[in-house]
Amino acid sequence: MNTRLAATHLRRMDRRYSLALIAGIATGLVLSLAAGARANMVTNPSFETPESTFIFGFPGAPSVFGDWGGDLSEIVPAENGISPFDADHMLRFDATGNSADPILSAAQVYQTFDVSTYAADIAQGIAQADVSAFFNRVNGDAQTDTSFAVHVYAFAGAPGSLQTQLINGSYLDVAGGGLGTDGDPSTWEMASGHLLLPSGTDFLAVRLTASENVFNDGTHPEFDGHYADMVSAEIVIIPEPATLLLLCAGSVALSRRRRYIA
């Protein structure tokens, strides 16, 4: 290969390397920006701190940030052949209200947290809440319920208004995901949801649900052994398309400044 052909070959290889490098940088920037702030905002996410998770009322709901509260439930250690998903404790669902109720068909436990520090991002429509939780149950029998879900709600106002807004349906938005568990006590399944936070969101509520989808029991306990553990709620800042274009354009411009020697 003569000198000119060798130089041409090197330039082509250099260009390919530069394009691959640009693509890698751009991808890294996108992933980095999309990751945003990813700290878990849930207090006591794996139920290791003792606290009462039952609040009398309909629906029972916490009035301050960082407290678990809702229908009859309890934080417990390993039991019924089920070990906690994380560390030493988990949440057990016991009833669909203040006590066993033959009409209600879902046990719900909530926690609220403040997102006012993300007000500017929420106003721009680039803040997203990602929630997840792990669920498990005993194998049971033909009447054992199988359904769980996790949801995230967006609210305006103060956390003390949670119960009223739930009753009135005046929350700003809600999203979530459910699952049917497999009945294997040795495995935990994860449900998750994602909510792009609407403008005006001041606080969020995470809701954990165990549903009586098979048999609506009217005696206590209504669930044979149904559990939740390791709850997560993260705020993700999603980069705007214009920002991504500028970053990619900047990367391309830098690559064009490379000088090649024939």
The per-residue pLDDT for range 46-92, each reduced to its tens digit, is 999 999 999 999 899 999 999 999 999 999 999 999 999 999 999 99
Check pLDDT > 80 for residue 110.
Answer: yes
Report the C-alpha gap between 252 and 234 in whole angstroms: 33
**Domains of the chain, residue spans:** 3-34+242-256, 38-239
Report the C-alpha gap between 109 and 62 in whole angstroms: 9
- Which pLDDT does position 16 carry in this prediction? 54
Report the C-alpha gap between 64 and 150 in whole angstroms: 20
CATH number for the segment(s) 38-239: 2.60.120.260
Residue 239: partners with Cβ closer than 8 Å, 6 or more residues away: 30, 33, 34, 126
- Which pLDDT does position 243 carry in this prediction? 46
- Which pLDDT does position 4 carry in this prediction? 57
pLDDT in tens, 188-233: 999 999 999 999 999 999 999 999 999 999 999 999 999 999 999 9
pLDDT in tens, 166-175: 999 999 999 9
CA dihedral for 190, 112, 175, 149, sign (positive or negative): positive
pTM: 0.81
